[in-house]
A = this chain, B = another copy of it.
């Protein structure tokens, strides 16, 4: 497997476009994105578990219930959530795609991100459709820009791998940084691949992958409103179609997991106000569930996040977060290590503090990518959670915003 260029256009038969249509006031900010496949594609998706869902989710769910889609239309600047005509707008966007591309409205994935509870009309979108469609090409970056809201970094990645002797590609764009003002559509990720795979196996792969990737991200504990992750697979790589478990499916899942892990880290690193990417890796847990619960608990801890901002090797807070995580662990077996490209330092062994070098620890923690490694010494399961430090800027972005 290797990283390649092209983002969501890396896979055969996918084109993308991104324009400014007028939803956002700032003319330099793109706000409408389109992704199309040359042929109908197997489609799978996962959605937020937040009871509050934007109208686009129900419409998308209905459209891909048959397992197929051919386009994705997404706007930023308005989340199309908590407004009265939401479903009408979402369906209207699908209809506009059909009108301008010939692709059936029922084969369109629709998404929105931005402010909630704000009136929305189709007018700017309708106005922008012609240039949106005219702009279709190898334009993954334009689409990636068009879906961004508070992100400071574009999130795009692609990989290539081999299945059945055929080269397959998979790429993705994503957005998600936190929430500002009433904005609930925090995380969107669109994935494309030319692998031939049935809708059922595609959904299986996606559902399994998000467990250890997107669902392991926490920026501020409020990001479980991850809106949508969608993957389209159009089969144009012409590999033997993956229709059951086996080696080919494993290769596919591995590529998908790699891609989603990279994207998850980009999202975590771009958390509002973040200065550091934090990865908490738990090893030798008794079960996968324990490993995930423990790593997420640590990543979500405000005290741990603040300590990382201050480059403070505060192992006690790690132990504390493990202790209240709800997972049954033997606290007398826990080892904790901090590491980064500046080195590593063991700060806790068997649940007790070690005599570690504070200067070394400070150096390790002054880097912008830090790993908090926890060894539970109780089994073979492991998991990683992704997050970021808690900074003054987080408070400023989210507290000082005056309506």
Chain copies in the assembly? 2
Question: Which B residue's beta carbon lies closest to that of A180?
Answer: B303
Can you list, as one digit per residue, whether each of A376-388 has a CB less than 8 Å from chain B (1) or not (0)?
0000000000000
A372 to chain B, nearest CB (A): 15
The 8 Å CB contact of A307, one of B178, B391, B399, is: B399
**Of B310, B314, B352, B389, the contact of A400 (CB 8 Å cutoff):** B310
Min CB distance, A140 to chain B, in Å? 30
A351 lies within 8 A of chain B by Cβ: yes
The yes or no answer to A341 lying at the interface (CB within 8 A) is no
Which of B52, B220, B312, B396 has a CB less than 8 Å from the CB of A319? B52
Is there contact, CB below 8 Å, between A184 and B403?
A: no
Stretch at the interface among A94-102, A145-153, A207-215, A221-229: A221-229
User: A181 at the A/B interface (Cβ < 8 Å)?
Assistant: yes
Q: How far is the CA of A309 from the CA of B394 in the complex (A)?
A: 12
Question: Which of A21-29, A38-46, A320-328 makes up part of the contact surface?
Answer: A320-328
Asked if A128 is an interface residue, CB under 8 A from chain B, the answer is no
B310 to A221, Cβ gap below 8 A? Answer: no
Contact A82 B391, beta carbon cutoff 8 Å: no
State whether the Cβ of A32 lies closer than 8 Å to any Cβ in chain B: no
- 30 residue pairs from A and B, CB less than 8 Å apart: A49-B324, A52-B322, A52-B323, A52-B331, A82-B319, A82-B352, A83-B352, A117-B315, A117-B352, A179-B303, A181-B316, A182-B316, A182-B319, A182-B353, A183-B316, A184-B316, A220-B303, A222-B320, A225-B320, A302-B394, A306-B395, A307-B399, A307-B401, A308-B399, A310-B400, A310-B402, A312-B402, A362-B402, A389-B399, A394-B395
